Each structure stands twice: as structure tokens, then as C-alpha cells.
Amino acid sequence: MEILRSLNAMREWRTSLATEQRVGFAPTMGNLHAGHIELINVVKQQSDVVVASIFVNPMQFGGNEDLDAYPRTLAADLAKLEAAGTAAAFTPTTTDIYPDGVSQHTAVDVPKLTDVLCGASRPGHFRGVTTVVSKLLGIVRPHVAAFGAKDLQQVLVIKKMVRDLSMNTEIEVVPTVRESDGLAMSSRNGYLSHDDRALAPLFSLTLEETAKRVAESGSDIETAIAESKAILTEAGFIVDYLEARRTHDLSAASSLNQETAIFGAVFLGTTRLIDNRII
């Protein structure tokens, strides 16, 4: 596996590929788990070579968020990528990506989809995501890039950005990979205390049961959401949001006349968890 530590190295490697070779891409922030490896596995099936990036993007972290504490496990990550059959790992520095600093870098904004859910709770977060993803797509020039469905809002935002800016990359949405107890895999799960980790699967289970109840019985969505919030709050979660929204435009949903998902974000201690379930 090639380890490409600069923009020039990445560009030279990309230029060296044959024109007919199809390139797959999995952008990550490192601290890899099985969910990330599934991104590699999916794009491998659609590509001749696969590139993964490891970059902890400061532009998507707020001032009071965990940028400094975010786990950085580069050696272990590279070993996992090589074992998964990744052809190249791109590990740029912050200066590579933001040569004039984050505040002076051109930003990419996607309207409407970023005003709700995580966009409302974490102002500026999606501006950081779309800016770095657009830059990575421009550098790597992949034919297909994979993103996990756990971050469904992020997927919808990126797909709109790619469509609106006529980027020549297909976006592949990979189903959420879960632990044996149902908790969605996340790099932040490692922050959970022993007791909080034992409680955490109730979040995913509650979303699943809410979606099933609405789908199977036609239960009122707003009532089902309110009941689920009460269950989580009583169990010890701090609910950031729990909402039913259309999956095509994230508009609020009160009926099932279009595909709808339950989106949730909660805190256990200082750890923020997100998940979603399609109804």
C-alpha cells in the first residue's frame, strides 16, 4: 500500500494510474473501525484501485468540541487499510488542506439541508464537511466515493453538493455497521464510560422500535416521537434532537406519504451519539 503524505504525492500517484482504471475513495478521520472498513469493501467491488484518506478536519469542529481530544491512531489505521486491500492511503497535514488557515479558506455551503438536525445543533459543522469533501474529491478525482448511512444527513448534503457542482463522482451510501448489541459503530463510542456503553444501545433500539411502531400500526408520528424522547430521558440520555423527516429533503414529516426516517442525537455524559432509522 502506498502512503501518500502530501498533496503532491497524492497527485503524482493519481496521475500515474492508467486512464481506464476506476478509482474508489473512502474519506475518513481515522480511528478506524469495521464501519470504515466496510466503506473500503464496498468501493473495492466497484473499482480497480481504492484510496482512503485520513484527515481530522478542524473546519468541521466547533470551538467547544473535541478536536484536540479526537483519537488519532495513524499506525493502527494504516495497518487496517492495508489488510483491507487499500491501494493508497492519503494522509495530508492541515497545512496541505488549509494552506492559509481555516478561517481564510474558501468554504462550500449547501443550503436548506444544513439548517436542521446536526446543522442546527452544530453551526458551521456542515460547512466544514462539504468544504473538505469537495477538496478531497478534487484532489483524488475518484469515480466513486463511499459514505456511511449512520450520518444520513451528511450523505444527503454531500449528494446535493456533488449534484449541484457537477462533480464527476458517484456517491455510494453504505448501510450502517452496528455492534452486536445494535449500537451504531462510531469513533466516539470509545469515549463512553463502562456504564454509559452498557446503556448506549437503548438509543438505537428506541429509534428502531419507534420506526417499526409507526410503520406497522400507523401510530401518530408526533406521539411516537414524544414517547421515545421520554423513554430516553428517563433512562439518562440528554436528547439533542429526535425528529421524523423526509429522506429526500429533510423536511419535517407528520405522515408517511414519502420515505421518512427517524433522526436522533443524544448525549451520554459528554459523548454525543447520532443514529437514524428508516420508517
36 is catalytic: yes
- Sequence-distant contacts of 99-103: CB under 8 A, at least 24 apart: 102/58, 102/59
Task: Tell me which of 36, 105, 143, 248 is the catalytic residue.
Answer: 36
Residue type, 2: E
Residues noted as catalytic: 36
